[in-house]
Structure 1
């Protein structure tokens, strides 16, 4: 008998797990169906729970399921829901339509991570819960910003406008992200290609040159050439172990980078570099201004909006935001409080003061975000133009050094013969 785990949703929208004993996965499925009927839960997933019964540690990456399942596409969901609402459908009817389309299409099968989200939203709405509450019960798929926007729109009746603003926000943030990814793609590919060529030279050519130089005295070989030949022989003789070690290092690095604490620490270390830290802070502030503007335009109060956008900032900036919020709660202006804590740029400060005068704080925050996003995009473009030739130079020098060290004993031998 093997142990399986049933993961299901109860009537309150909470995830519950149940232990099952079965001989195989089919028997576990039947047992899970009986258990779900008795407990009144909706089946989400059935998985084996005894994969580690031999004491083997499971080193699966936190996001390894991305290679097996497609993630729930929030932008597509908001766009499709917005289209149906514009067509005149009621909110519950629109959700039912999306769920029915998902059931009929192959893309809505169980190979999608959020395949249970739409049925759960429909069920909660049919029970009389508000749309924002239904979204809040699925925090792994819906952000706090969207929940706050929908909650505010339920008070004002502007659901369509709220979804439009959120979709526009996602589009603008995606544009900035795509520019950063595009700028870093070519240098990353260049480094990957150069590293692969260098490893090939050390793994394939260095051992062959080592066999050619076997008859030469060790004293006749340059020191760096001897080191290179020795490393090449070791890698060639232990190819499988070397590849396994590199794979483990890459997997561990990928797993570490997915951890928020590690990413936060990396941002802090990069921020200590003066010229790079300023741009990283500007990027965070631009995203902070845009998110805050979206929430204020959606009718969310200032202090709750600041609280929800806190996570967009690094830890040192979060502490500053807390102090600024304390000042705002005591009656100070938002521009003065943020300026005192260093959370506004020169442009943002002037725009905020203008917005406080004419009552357009949200619009001025969005203008500040747009200004700084353009500034960041121009800096990234100039930085990429500078880094690409430097990387090519470094890679060329590295590969050239390996080739020279391999042939250097030949040149010395030819000089001795003359």
Structure 2
């Protein structure tokens, strides 16, 4: 009865942060931070991890903790795969990897998963309790490895898959970073010129007492409008951006429209399409090669492309396969996959090597993405310079036209 009362009381209390120090099973000093309802829960959680607490102290204020990134998960997976392949026991491997992380948030997450595993939960189920960091693909591969007794192999395959995905995203981000920075800087410079510099010229031109050319009048009008209404314009811009972001997070119809528009974009569309196809085929190849049934693999693949058009196509393919349709035919009927992917899947089904063919498709599209990024970078740099030259040159010409006219009069 007292235990039940204690549990009820613990559940009623809000969770707070506690800093702790203690000794692990080998007598080493360890420290960390846990979020629990009371010190008793902290002590119990630490004992489940094999730690003897020596000091527990409530934290009244804690600095914001680093978020756990995809790169953190990929690095952990690679380290954990190495530990498992070396024959290190599962719980011991969690201890070594968790305490070697520089990100305290990741350490807390891994120690929590270790406690679940120690309590008798399967590894895939323990990962599945944190869907924000370990998606369905991750859990499906871990579950397949546990079932077949080849967890180390599955973890290595999963680490390779995560690393390839990170490399692809990194290449796209690096290629688009320079144009984005240049455009943002140019917009800032033009805004400063329009709001601060041009009004000074306006006062000078007014002292001439002569009629100004049409381009100069247009530029002065735009400058005056921006200088007077910039707080309203800035507020309106921020409001529109926040409303659009909120709508895209909450409205699936808006998300689907955005994804279709991105695929139809004239320059970025082919790049986005090939990147989505590379992620989709790579994920399906990884799951199918791990022995996951095709229907179950497709359920985990949904969302891997990062585009709702391919999510809907995956749902369609999954339904068709459940009715007995071949993978290549189901993909063709969805209308979302190009001829190369369909032909390679058909060859893979005939030869019994679907995962190998899908990996070849993924390799091909990743190479295509690299070529497109190189060409896009070569195209965007002169295009941006041309546009900026036209904008800045137009402003300079409009400002100096009255001076040229005054010189001709004199």
| CA deviation after TM superposition for structure 1 residue 368, in Å | 0.8
Q: 2:4 — aligned with what? A: none
Answer yes or no: is the 8 Å Cα contact 2:317–2:334 preserved in 1.
yes
State the alpha-carbon separation in 2 of the partners of residues 368 and 92 from structure 1: 38
Q: How many equivalent pairs are there?
A: 367
Aligned residue runs from structure 1 range 159-308, under 5 A: 159-217=151-209, 220-233=211-224, 235=226, 241=231, 245=235, 248=238, 252=242, 255=245, 259=249, 261=252, 264-273=256-265, 276-308=268-300
State the alpha-carbon separation in 2 of the partners of residues 202 and 46 from structure 1: 50
Greater RCO, CA 8 A, separation 6+: 1
Q: 1:269 to 1:348 in 2, by over 3 A?
A: closer
Deviation string for 1:42-80 (max 9, x for gaps)? 79x9899xxxxxxxxxxxxxxxx7xx6242510111122
1:88 aligns with 2:81: no
Report the 3-state secondary structure (helix = DSSP H, G, I; strand = E; otherwise coil) of the residue aligned with 1:397.
helix
Q: 2:32 — aligned with what? A: none
Structure 2: segments with no counterpart, 5+ residues: 1-6, 20-34, 47-57
State the alpha-carbon separation in 1 of the partners of residues 175 and 234 from structure 2: 31
Q: 1:323 — aligned with what? A: 316
Q: 1:57 — aligned with what? A: none
Report the 3-state secondary structure (helix = DSSP H, G, I; strand = E; otherwise coil) of the residue aligned with 1:312.
coil
Answer yes or no: is the 8 Å Cα contact 1:321–1:343 preserved in 2.
no
| CA deviation after TM superposition for structure 1 residue 216, in Å | 3.7
State the alpha-carbon separation in 2 of the partners of residues 192 and 277 from structure 1: 22
Answer yes or no: is the 8 Å Cα contact 1:153–1:299 preserved in 2.
no
| CA deviation after TM superposition for structure 1 residue 275, in Å | 6.3
Calculate the aligned-residue CA RMSD, in Å.
3.6
Deviation string for 1:110-160 (max 9, x for gaps)? xx3x44211211110110111001000111121211111000100111111
Partner residue of 2:357 out of 334, 356, 364 = 364
| CA deviation after TM superposition for structure 1 residue 263, in Å | 5.3
State the alpha-carbon separation in 1 of the partners of residues 43 and 260 from structure 2: 47
State the alpha-carbon separation in 1 of the partners of residues 118 and 171 from structure 2: 42
1:405 aligns with 2:398: yes
Partner residue of 1:310 out of 302, 313, 319 = 302
State the alpha-carbon separation in 2 of the partners of residues 345 and 183 from structure 1: 25
Q: 1:181 to 1:254 in 2, by over 3 A?
A: farther
Which deviates further from its counterpart, 138-147 or 126-135?
A: 138-147
Q: 2:76 — aligned with what? A: 77
TM-score by length of 1: 0.76
1:125 aligns with 2:122: no
Which deviates further from its counterpart, 177-186 or 395-404?
A: 177-186
Deviation string for 1:217-263 (max 9, x for gaps)? 4x701333234334435655777x47964984697389559838565
Q: 1:254 to 1:117 in 2, by over 3 A?
A: farther
Report the 3-state secondary structure (helix = DSSP H, G, I; strand = E; otherwise coil) of the residue aligned with 1:311.
coil
